[in-house]
Amino acid sequence: MVKPIALTLGEPAGIGPDIAIAAWLRRKSDAVPPFYLLGDRAFIAARAKLLGHELPLVDAGPGDVARIFSEALPIAATGHPATAQPGDPDGNSAPAVIGSIRQAVSDVMAGHAGAVVTNPIAKSVLYRAGFAHPGHTEFLAELATANANPPQPVMLLWSPDLAVVPVTIHLPLRDAIEMLSSRMIVDTVRIVVADLRARFGIPNPRIAVSGLNPHAGEDGSLGTEDQTIVAPAIATLRAEAIDVKGPLPADTMFHEAARRTYDCAICMYHDQALIPVKTLAFDRAVNVTLGLPFIRTSPDHGTAFDIVGTGHASPSSLIAALRLAARMAGSTPSA
């Protein structure tokens, strides 16, 4: 029997509950794989009502989902009530947000769920409540290990049009440039190549690596990092027979013809990677964490506080995330 997907609550004041409800309502038309939502049933019922739906919500564990999903939205209680109002985040709901993520990871690590899909969190709200991790990506890596050496998580934004990976993730731009190293680039590309082979069925992934500076440094006259950090990493990866090219000027590597020449673009910092993919495929792109011992995907967007409870939140990216997670769960995990 196919294992269900554990879907986290996300920020309760955000659109996570709206799109989870919408995804369940589209379960037949969009072939949404069975999932259960880890959250507070009364809270979800109230959001559904605000959106104009009287939903059948059933308390359920992962083992009940296959039986229930076609008729009701399965809810797994986490024991933490959510109190935030639509569009108005409140730090008191932080335990509900974090407890949902913890329980989803526990379920997938125990083999009860096939994958974790996360709804968006508002990072600054959690930081103010004492959350010490930059985002899901880094938190999930910590939860994935019982010891002090978490795996290196890699953020992949996957879409039919473009796949991108930022080498540095949730860092102020100044710190990202400071921290960038050949070692980080090499480690990131190795994880990307292993997971593209094992989980995406691409036997020989073609990798394009961006430069850091304008024009990839213009032979050192617009910054030296492309020559001293990026190029040596590419040489190391080529010596491992990885199909990799670069450093490429980031402003010209995303046009249509260029995109056809690679399977994944490796970028040096968050916005260099996420701007092109969100521009091309905002409603289709999926955030995937590579390098973990379990599958985690997420919609590409955030909490969208401006449209919570209005019915305007599109569940497309969440549905793409659920479908991709199910597809990946059916493939052979990397060793």
Ligand X SMILES: NCC(=O)COP(=O)(O)O
Out of 181, 314, 327, 334, the residue judged to bind ligand NAI by CB under 6 A:
314
Q: Nearest 5°: phi and psi at 106?
A: -60, -45
| Total of residues contacting ligand X (CB under 6 A) | 6
Q: Which is nearer to ligand X, 207 or 274 (CB)?
A: 274
Cα–chain-centroid distance for residue 16? Answer: 14
| Position 80 contacts ligand NAI (CB under 6 A) | no
For ligand NAI, give the closer residue by CB, 262 or 294: 294
Q: Applying CB under 6 A, which part among 42-50, 205-213, 296-304, 324-332 lies near ligand NAI?
A: 296-304
Of the pair 213, 298, the CB lying nearest ligand X is at: 298
Q: Which stretch binds ligand NAI (CB under 6 A): 37-45, 97-105, 244-252, 299-307?
A: 299-307
Site for ligand X in 124-153 (CB under 6 A): 135-137
271 binds ligand NAI (CB under 6 A): no
Among the listed residues 85, 66, 86, 73, the one whose alpha carbon sits nearest the alpha carbon of residue 38? 73
Q: How far is the CB of 286 from ligand X (least distance, A)?
A: 11
Question: How far does Cα 214 stand from its chain's mean position?
Answer: 28
Partner interacting with residue 122 (select from ligand X, ligand NAI, none; CB below 5-8 Å by kind): ligand NAI
Alpha-carbon gap, residue 123 to 305, rounded angstroms: 13
137 contact choice in ligand NAI, ligand X, none (CB below 5 to 8 Å, kind-dependent): ligand X
Out of 55, 95, 302, 334, the residue judged to bind ligand NAI by CB under 6 A: 302
Binding-site string for ligand NAI from residue 10 to residue 39, where x marks contact by CB under 6 A and - marks none: -----x---x--------------------
Would you say 60 or 157 has its CB closer to ligand X?
157
Does residue number 199 form part of the binding site for ligand X (CB under 6 A)?
no
Contact status: 8 vs ligand X (CB under 6 A)? no
Give yes or no for residue 299 binding ligand X (CB under 6 A): no
Q: Identify residues 107-166 at the interface with ligand NAI (CB under 6 A).
A: 120-124, 136
According to DSSP, the residues that pair with 162 across neighbouring strands are none
Task: Examine residue 323 and tell whether it contacts ligand NAI (CB under 6 A).
Answer: no
**Partner whose footprint covers residue 207, from ligand NAI, ligand X, none (CB < 5 to 8 Å by kind):** none
Least Cα distance to 117 among 99, 93, 135, 100 occurs for: 100
| Residue number with CB closer to ligand X (73 or 105) | 105
**Does 310 help bind ligand NAI (rule: CB under 6 A)?**
no
Q: Which residues bind ligand NAI (CB under 6 A)?
A: 15, 19, 120-124, 136, 287, 298, 301-304, 306-307, 312-314, 317
